[in-house]
Structures are given as structure tokens and as C-alpha cells.
Amino acid sequence: MERMKKIYELLEPIGSGSFSQVWKGKHKATGQLVAIKQLERTLDIDHTGRGARGLPSSTLREVTILNILTKEVTPYIVRLFYFHKFTKPSEDSGKEHMFLVMEYISSDLRKYISLHREPDEGLSQSITFGNIKIIMYQICKGIEILHGKGVVHRDLKPANILLNPQNLMVKFADFGFSREITFPTKAHYSPGVMTLFYKAPELLLGADEYSFPVDMWSIGCIFGELVTLNPIFSRNTPVEQLRLMCSVLGPPNEDTWPGVTKLRNFEKCCDTPLTPGWSKCFRALGEDGIDLLMVSGVYF
């Protein structure tokens, strides 16, 4: 950290996780604002007195994916300027640190939606359709770039989409759950990814073979939330979430989703009755808007 402080002024903490902390920083020589992500790995001392160095897999994935994505300037993806390799561990904490220096963007889509849901004086409560179009266009272009480079994000949600509130520029961030997809495009991965409100039905049903469509489901959920200002599928448990989805879209079957009856959680949703009229909540979007929403919210 002392080395970093010689190059950057740390202005304020702006986020934290289990193995990381994010700071707003400023390059002392140029004045450029940056986001500095401090990642740590612990030196666990074994019975021989030697340290076993461990690093969370999410950290390895994020560094790898950002290196792939930012070899050239890529619109709609947060830029990784460079990273500092691990510093020597401090004697008191026994921890080494890596620092990722990234593009700084002042807000995110979660905060933007929250401001409209609980507006201050002078701020319209709803997000205008014009602004929704601007945001969704960028999200769709961003996912096109991401998938075109063979990467599935696996944790798209408003908090992981950075947003400049002045010009509504958006960029994907937080690639700790991301994976490079190998061929064939469906491979065996953990279903234990994604935040519940934005989690694709194949993951809730227990599938360990999936691909790019899990991101498309999340984008549909984000689209709906921009319109309603609330998550469109919001339950407390995976089973409740799955049954809510099935009540809106109807339970999947072998005609609409070959192989679905073999997934381990299928029996938990197969008898869910359909609740008609869900699309009425989005009537103001018009035919094209509803079509985009429904294309994202289908069984893949």
C-alpha cells in the first residue's frame, strides 16, 4: 500500500468485498481519477513454518478476464489500466496485496434506479423511456462485445453496471464470476453463480451445463427493473424465485425446453399455475419494447 500511496492519492473507499476493497483515487502526477481495487491473499502458516499462498478463484478470473477484454480500448467494458503485482506481506497481517487500477465511473445502475424510486425534490419518479433506450442500447452492445470475445459474465445486475449520471454512459464491471466459454459452447460450470433476482431459470433448476443465455436473462430482468423501478422477480429463496418465474411464463416442459424434466429441481416448479396479465405492467413500452423484454425472458 505504501508504494501505491507514492503514486496515487487515496480519496475515499467506495466499495468492499470478502477479499477486496475499492478506493477512489487520483494519480498524483496527472490528476486522473481512478478506481483502485486492493485484493489480498493470506499466507497460511503450516506445521513446517512455511506459508501456503492462496488466492480466491474469483480474483484470478477477474484479472484474467479484464486482461482479455482490455488489451484494446473496448466500449461498454470498464478499462483496466494496469495492475501492480503482490507486495510483500506485512508482519502484523500476514497478507499480500495486489492492486488493480481501473477506470473510475462515479455511479452505477443500482444507485440510478434507487434515486428514481425514492426521488429527491425536482427529480422525476420514473425513468424516461428515452433514457431507458439509451441505457439498454449500451447494455445490449456491451453484451455483444463480451460474448463476442467468448466471455460470459454470470453476475449481471444493476450494481455491476457502472453509470455516469451526466451522460448515461454505462460499462460492465466486476468480472469475479466471469468465465471464458469453451467449445462446445455449453460446458459444465457451477450453478451457484449470479444474484438471486437476476438468476436465470436454468441455474435455479440446477443445470450445470449452460452458456451465454444466462446473461441474456439477467439483461431482461434489468430492463424490466428500469421500467418498474423494482426487481421484476424478487423472492427470498431459490425455490420461491423459480415458482414466481413459472407463474409468469408457465412451467417449462419438454416441448419448450428439451431435457428440462431431468434437471434436479424441476419437480419443485412443475405444478405452478400460470398467472395471466403480467405483460400489462409493461404496456407503455409498446410492442417493440415488450417484444425485447419477452425475448430476454424466455426459456433457453
Tell me the C-alpha distance between 215 and 153, whole Å.
7
Tell me the C-alpha distance between 67 and 281, whole Å.
41
Tell me the C-alpha distance between 45 and 193, whole Å.
31
Which burial class, exposed, middle or buried, applies to 193 when counting CB atoms under 10 A from its CB (0-12, 13-18, 19+)? buried
Q: Is 37 assigned a ligand-binding role in the annotation? A: yes
- Residues designated as active site: 155
Q: Report which of 270, 271, 272 is spatially closest to residue 260, judged by C-alpha positions.
A: 270
User: Reduced to 3 states, what is the DSSP secondary structure of residue 174?
Assistant: coil
b/e code 148-187 from CB counts within 10 Å (16+ = b): eeebbbbbbbbbbbbbeeeeeebbbbbbbbbbebeeeeee
| Numbered residues of the known binding site | 37
Give the annotated binding-site residues for ATP.
37
